[in-house]
Every structure is written in C-alpha cells, then in structure tokens.
Structure 1
C-alpha cells in the first residue's frame, strides 16, 4: 500500500499563477486511531509546486538560448511538429487551470471574488503588455499586444467565469462550444488570398483575424512575404488553448472532489487522472498523425488534446512520487532524499513563478535591446565572449548559456524563499 509521506514540509502561503491554496492534509500518526474530530496537519501539495517550477525551468532554458544552434529538446518547432520545448507553455496554462479548481473550490459568486479575479486578470495582461512595449522601445504603433501572460490572463478569466457562473453540465458545454468555434473558424472561414482550411504559416484564419483586430501590433516572426503574419499567442489560437486550461481545471476538480484526508492510496484520484490521460492521448495521437498535425503556433486541436494528456501524465507521476508514496515505509529513504534534492529548486521557483518569469523577460529586454557593446548587444557579447569563445561548439555553448541563466534564477528564487518573499497577484 502507498501511504503519504509524513515528513514535515514548511507551509508558506503563496499565490503563484493565481491566488489559491495548495495545501493537502494528512494525519500525523497512522498508528493512532483517527476520529471525526481529529485535526490533520497541513502541508503544501509538493507535486503542484514542483511541476509549476519545472515549467519555469523549461521556459528559462528555452527562452535563453543564444545564436541559431539549439539542441532539439530546447528548440521549438518552426510550424507543424512537436518537440519538448513546445510543451512548456501549455504546461504553464494547464497548471494555472489546475490552480483555479483549488482556488475557487469554496468560493461564492460574489463581488469580492470577482474583484480578485478581475484584478489578477488585468495584472497578468498588462504586466506582459508593459514588457512588450518596453521591448519595442515604447512604440505604441507597433508593440505587440498579445503574449504569454495575456493568454494566461484570458484563459484564467474565462475559466473562472465558467466555473463560478455555470453548473458543471453547462461548463463542459461551454468548453465544447469554444472547441467547435475554433475548429469552425480555422477550417471553415474563407481567408482572402489564401482560401478555406489553409493552415500554413502565413495563410490561416487565425493570422487573418489577428491582422484585422491588431493591425501592426502583433509578433512579426512569420515570413514577411506572406499575406498575413501569424502571432503564436493570437486571439483564435487562444480559444484552443482554453481547452488546455479548462482540462487543467478538470484535473484539479478531480483532486478537490476525491481527495480524502485518510485515504492513503489516493486511488480515486489516480484512477480518474489515468482515465483522463488515456482519453485525451489516443485521439490526440490519431489526429496528429493524420488530418490535424500538431502545431503549437496555431494551437491545433490535436496539439491541445496532446497537451492535456502530456500534462495530465506529468502531474499524475509527480503526485504519486512526491505526495503519495511513503518512501521511508518502503525502506527507501535515499529515494526520498534524491527526490527532495531534485524538486527543491523547482519548488523555490514554483512559489514565485510570475515574478521569476517577468524578471527573466525584463533582463532579456535590457541586455538585448538597451545595452550595446560595439556593434552587438550585451546579450550577444556575453554569449560570444563568455561561452562560445572557449566552448567552440554553438550547440554546446547555447545550452550552457541557458543553464547559466537557470542557475542565476534558481539563486534568485532561493533568496526569495529564504526571506519568505512571495509576490502575490
């Protein structure tokens, strides 16, 4: 039998992607009889903090590459296809959805609740807007309106709206409606100069609508010779990313509904999560290998399904390894020590993810666009002089460069955790 780990874990209150509680309860001593009036101790849901931190680890490694030589696991797919790097941002969104279920499980549809939701939504949206504006030297004409935190903000708001305002049946009907609308637009809308059901980098319905809504205020990463520029965090693809966010909420709902203080196996949760993973993985792979290729840039339906299955698998494995199995009772205390050693830095970052992410982007912008050394930015100079000059190999230098930044942000997160600094939205 698997039993919870009874090691005391420090219980600081923090609000990562959104305000929520990640506390799970367990008894202090299983040898004593547990009664109705027993008050179990509390500890953080370590697996949630670890997965959240792992997601930020991935973002730091992927976003802090230098040069064009990037190893496959850290290199995002140009268009159709799938790499591990493509799954990092979806994990961010999935975990934010999971957190909503914990945050709102006892919340009422009140003015104070909505004040907090709207406040967090606006903060998430405009923090990234400011960073985008800063990256474009405060040019309001061309700065990018959408982005990572904007997408999270939109998914967060509509997930909260559905969760608080509709019964469960209508919540899932709303999800179905969003899904059908996304597919109908991407495959049914006629796009001038492109046609219907065309899903190329510069010809797709999402890029067309974004160009009409935002004009020049979109990411300019597509082929400039095409009729439309595809923003990877555009409006229409955000509709599909809502699938990822909402299913994260559904996984969280399973946890809040079936977690029992004294059910040491947590079998109800594990079985249901496993069923959900299989339910989404099979059609995702079938569609991705045939009529709907995996595509992160437009968040294709197959990609959305796959992100649910992949992140569901990740939280399931982490939950079992970190929160369920009592390695000491299995006479494997060294395994517990190794797990704690590995996940501790993740948990540091996982308790301040928005702060670490925003700081990372801020530093990138300063080094890339505001400080020049000779003909290159300071960012390029650091990479070439401190890494490429002695490592020689571009792939190795770029990887070590990103690992250096990861270590830097782990130290920042450690200092914040040690001083009990938790910046809350």
Structure 2
C-alpha cells in the first residue's frame, strides 16, 4: 500500500508563503485573544456565540491546516535520511506529548484558582497535538485513497451522530445554544473529563474530545494541499488550490443551510431548516465548518503562494518580513505571548487613580490608549497591535540570530 509520504517529495526551497501564512495567523490570534478592552471591540475580532464564523473563528483551523501542509514534506525528508515508519511515529508521539503538556501548562497558568480535580485538560495546543499524531499515523500507514475515505467517514459520521442519534437519557438533542451542554460532544466531555473543562460552566469544552475527531480532517485538508504542490509551485497547482478553496467554502455554506453571509464571514442561524443541514459552528467543529474553513485556508495558501513563491527572491518583501519572523517561531510566539498576557491580566496589579487595584493590562487601556483614541473599538485594536508588535520584535531578534525553537 502506497502512502502519501512515499510519493510526496520536498519542495526545492522552504515555502516562504507557509511561514507568512503562519505568521499572519499568529498575529491575528494576538489581536483577537489579547484585545485591549474586555468588550466593545470590532465584531470581526469577536468569536460568534454559537452558529456562524467571523474571521476570528478562522484562526484555529488555519493553524491545523498549516500543520497538515508541512507534514508530508517533513516525513518525506526524514524518510530520505533513512528513518523508518516506526521511528517517525515515535518521533511524532514524542512531539505530540510535549505539545500537549505545554498546552495544559499554558491553559491553566497562572494556577491561581486551579486544583488537581478542576484543571482544564483540553485546549488549542492539545488539539493540535492530537490531530498531528493522528495525521502522521494516517500518512505513514495508509494510502491516499484510505485517507480520503477516513476524512469522509469522520465528517459524515459526526453529522449523523449529532443530528440523528439519541443522547443517553435525553433523546436527539437540537444543535442550538440552548442545548450546548447536552449534545453528544458535551455528553462525552462530561463522561471522560468531568470538571476538567472550560466552557458552559465546565460542562462542555469547545476543544473537547469528540469535536477533535472532525478537527483531524482540517489537518488533512492541509495534507491535500501538500499533494497539490508536490510536483512544484506551478500556476496549475495554485489554480487547483484556488478551485479547491471555492468548492470547500461553497460546500460548507450549503451544508450549513445557507447561513447569512457577511463577506466571507457567516453569522447566524441556517436559512434552511432540513434534516441534512449541519450548521457552521466552531464550538462543535461541525463538518460544514471543516469544509468552509478548509476552503478559506486553500484560498489563503494559494494567494500567499502567488504573492511570495511564484517568483522567489533572496529575501521576503518588506511587508511580509514581520510575518516571516513570527511564522518561523510560531510556537514560541504563541506560548510566550499567551503567558505574558495572563501575567498582565491576572498577576501584575497596580493602583488606579481612584485607589482601586487593576491589572496592568486594564491600566494601560484606561490610562494610555483610551485617552489617546476616543473610539473604544479602535483604542482596543491599537492596544492589541502594540502588544503583538512586541512579539514581532522578539521573533525578529531570534530570526536574525538564527534561533528557531522547535519541538
């Protein structure tokens, strides 16, 4: 049986477009996760409460997608160096374990109210670790045809389970916000992780166990992009990625029941009520959400390739360099910025003008950005950009000294 890794060769040069895509995504993550004001920010920088997806809801699937793009090329290079499948899988398991442990640490830091029986298990890095290990095993031990079958089975099976199979003791549960803590995803989270959750009063988790299964397909979408690029960075390959992107967005939107469109964002309840409808929903990581965000990721990668790798130059253009810096040390930027943000939000307190104790983050918003910028959303955005630029500078320093932290 021929695996993808055995027939996917490494591209002749490092894909600068992938570094830039990764860096843009990290920068966007900082803007949406570290907003200056606790409320009052711009709508596209907010997660939707339930059904739909703003640009903020594209960020996490883009990370998974990019892991998938790099995976076949990484495996092919290591195979050329003589690594066996067993060695490659052990290496992937070790990396996944480290990533999972870092995720648990980051998610529970600074441990102010955490106890052993309530610390949160799921999280962003934890899901990436799970999907990376699953994706590696599929690439190593299955054919491309089998991988497509597995992806299809995960998407269709997840839809059938949530839409038609009764939850024990509850029956078939509607996929509405009212039943967020009672659907199959929440039921399995409660059964397997109890109070080690982070949403809905610790009764369900957006990064929980069941919804991690369709997340594997998000990573597999990146693997499909790698297959498309294996013969070179040609105009035909970029066109195929663009057409895949259009097909993914349209398929997700149709399966989601034609949810209202705002640009490429999707907000609100399905326009069509029917048995086949599976609403686009990040919290549940629905199959329609997988197709929709995979389509957007294919389009974004095609655009980056066209802009940056179609005619490669010795150095990235000036506009792209900050994103190259972030993209080549993405895990470091994600972890360190997240930990520092929590220190500024929770641990480091100062005395405000009225004598109250406030976090350094809130003090900066109230005393620096709000007085300078009358618009609350704009002041919040500028605060977030200033914070993100600190980490651009850190990663630029690391890049120039050829310091690249890898797991």
**TM-score band (shorter)?**
0.7 to 0.9
Secondary structure in structure 2 of the residue aligned to 1:190: coil
Compute the displacement of 1:301 (Å): 1.2
C-alpha separation in 2, matches of 1:390 and 1:276: 45
Compute the displacement of 1:84 (Å): 0.8
In structure 2, the CA distance between the partners of 1:326 and 1:166, relative to structure 1 (3 Å rule), is closer
- 1:200-349 aligned at under 5 Å gives the runs 200-201=176-177, 202=180, 203-220=182-199, 222=200, 224=201, 229-256=203-230, 258-259=231-232, 266-288=234-256, 289=258, 290=272, 291-325=277-311, 340-349=317-326
Of 340, 344, 359, the match for 1:377: 359
- 1:72 maps to 43
User: Contact 2:189–2:209 (CA<8 Å) still a contact in 1?
Assistant: yes
- 1:396 maps to 378
- 1:97 maps to 68
Compute the displacement of 1:270 (Å): 2.1
Of 321, 324, 332, the match for 1:355: 332
C-alpha separation in 2, matches of 1:206 and 1:368: 31
Compute the displacement of 1:109 (Å): 4.1
User: CA RMSD, aligned part only?
Assistant: 2.3
Compute the displacement of 1:238 (Å): 1.2
C-alpha separation in 2, matches of 1:118 and 1:23: 22
C-alpha separation in 2, matches of 1:64 and 1:93: 21
Secondary structure in structure 2 of the residue aligned to 1:376: strand
- 1:12-161 aligned at under 5 Å gives the runs 24-25=11-12, 43-65=13-35, 66-106=37-77, 107=79, 109-137=84-112, 138-161=114-137
C-alpha separation in 2, matches of 1:416 and 1:403: 20
In structure 2, the CA distance between the partners of 1:382 and 1:62, relative to structure 1 (3 Å rule), is same
C-alpha separation in 2, matches of 1:310 and 1:73: 16
User: Contact 1:67–1:394 (CA<8 Å) still a contact in 2?
Assistant: no
In structure 2, the CA distance between the partners of 1:166 and 1:277, relative to structure 1 (3 Å rule), is same
In structure 2, the CA distance between the partners of 1:24 and 1:164, relative to structure 1 (3 Å rule), is closer
- 1:12 maps to none
Q: Which segment drifts farther, 91-100 or 102-111?
A: 102-111
In structure 2, the CA distance between the partners of 1:255 and 1:67, relative to structure 1 (3 Å rule), is same
C-alpha separation in 1, matches of 2:115 and 2:205: 18
Compute the displacement of 1:300 (Å): 1.3
Unaligned regions of 5+ residues in structure 2, if any? 1-7, 259-271, 351-355
In structure 2, the CA distance between the partners of 1:242 and 1:410, relative to structure 1 (3 Å rule), is same
User: Contact 1:117–1:157 (CA<8 Å) still a contact in 2?
Assistant: yes
- Give deviations 1:274-308, integer Å, cap 9, x for gaps: 33223322211212214222211111111110011
Compute the displacement of 1:393 (Å): 2.8
- 1:157-168 aligned at under 5 Å gives the runs 157-168=133-144
C-alpha separation in 1, matches of 2:28 and 2:307: 20
User: Contact 1:96–1:245 (CA<8 Å) still a contact in 2?
Assistant: yes
Compute the displacement of 1:192 (Å): 5.3
In structure 2, the CA distance between the partners of 1:317 and 1:115, relative to structure 1 (3 Å rule), is same
Paired positions, count: 368
User: Contact 1:133–1:140 (CA<8 Å) still a contact in 2?
Assistant: no
User: Contact 1:94–1:308 (CA<8 Å) still a contact in 2?
Assistant: yes
In structure 2, the CA distance between the partners of 1:254 and 1:192, relative to structure 1 (3 Å rule), is same
User: Contact 1:125–1:153 (CA<8 Å) still a contact in 2?
Assistant: yes
Compute the displacement of 1:207 (Å): 1.4
User: Contact 1:81–1:293 (CA<8 Å) still a contact in 2?
Assistant: yes
- Give deviations 1:136-170, integer Å, cap 9, x for gaps: 43422211100000111111000000100112222
TM-score, normalisation: structure 1: 0.81
Compute the displacement of 1:394 (Å): 1.9
